[in-house]
Amino acid sequence: MPIGRGKGSLWVAGGWAFLFLAFFFFSFQSWARDSHRLLVVGSGDSEYLTVALGLEFQRLHPDIVVVVPPSIHTGGGIKAVMKGEAHLARISRPLLPHEKGKGIKYCFFAKTPVVFVVHPTVQGVTDLDRKTLVEIYHGKIRNWKELGGPDHKIYVVQREPGDSCRTVLERYVPDLGRVPEGVAYTAFSTPEALMVIEAHNYTIGYLPMAAARAGSVRVLALEGVAPTLENLAQSRYKYYVLLGVAYKEPLSHNAKLFMEFFSSDRAKKIMRDFGSLPIEGCSR
């Protein structure tokens, strides 16, 4: 479900969110001071979903422009809100101890599966178990043919330590956090991981479903369980991250409207279209 790769006030190009390239010419402070704009910075996990939500929100509120810059990670988003450089931070984890007690509040609006994905050239492989994943990421299984796929070398993408998706996977499969040097390419943002997997044949990696749905990658089942909304809701698929926003009060009028929009039927449909389960309670 490629999104926003075309015309519009808020759009995605080459994996990044821009607003007529103006992001490159104005500082965060300039955006934050503009009463007609809502600056939402932070995690790449919800970047594409936030773009889609922003586009629909703008149709309802044409006087407000939602600006979704490239990922600066959850921590970077929270720092920007603390400094008054952004209205909302895109987050994919709860606040850390050093981030609490500084006037920052947060809420989650969706739960999205952490999924293993492959480039479309990988045919014949639809489901992997944890043991096989460890063997792939440790370089013990090197050819897709060993798994019923094409006779070609496996290329591997991982994320950096501390990444939300990696943290979730390490909780259940600790050996995925101990990948030998030289086996995997390390991507430092979700959009980068998606871009690398899409651009290179026979590649495997992991992403939040909210990002995978924005690309052309194939999503795999894990241990025989597909990452569907039903399986996520019934806790059969247990690998997921929470997507939300962090903010400081008093909220700006635009930020309050955007957070209220998360609970609307239109917003929930967009979240589901991105393979994510809406969560109630993010309105303020």
Greater confidence, 100 or 71?
71
CATH node for 11-111+241-278: 3.40.190.10
pLDDT, averaged across the chain: 89
Q: Averaged over 119-145, what is the pLDDT?
A: 98
DSSP string, 117-185: EE-TT--S--EE-HHHHHHHHTTS--BGGGGTS-SSB-EEEEE-TT-HHHHHHHHH-GGGG-PPTTTEE
Tell me which amino acid residue 45 is: D
Record the tokens describing residue 282, joined without a space. Answer: 């993010």
Record the tokens describing residue 276, joined without a space. Answer: 């994510």
Rg (C-alpha) for the chain, rounded Å, is 19
Range from 3-12, 36-45, 130-139, 226-235 carrying the lowest mean pLDDT: 3-12
Record the tokens describing residue 77, joined without a space. Answer: 């988003």
pLDDT above 70: residue 143: yes
Tell me which amino acid residue 156 is: V
Q: Coil, helix or strand for 273?
A: helix
Q: Averaged over 256-266, what is the pLDDT?
A: 97
Q: Averaged over 176-196, what is the pLDDT?
A: 97
User: Which architecture, in CATH terms, is 113-233?
Assistant: 3-Layer(aba) Sandwich (3.40)
The yes-or-no answer to whether 11-111+241-278 and 113-233 have a common fold is yes
Interatomic CA distance for residues 5 and 269, integer angstroms: 20
pLDDT tens-digit profile of 68-78?
999 999 999 99
Domain locations in the chain as residue ranges: 11-111+241-278, 113-233
Query: Would you place residue 282 in the very low, low, confident or very high pLDDT band (cuts 50, 70, 90)?
Result: confident
pLDDT tens-digit profile of 50-66?
999 999 999 999 999 99
pLDDT tens-digit profile of 23-52?
433 445 554 555 689 999 999 999 999 999
Contact 8, 65 (CB under 8 A): no
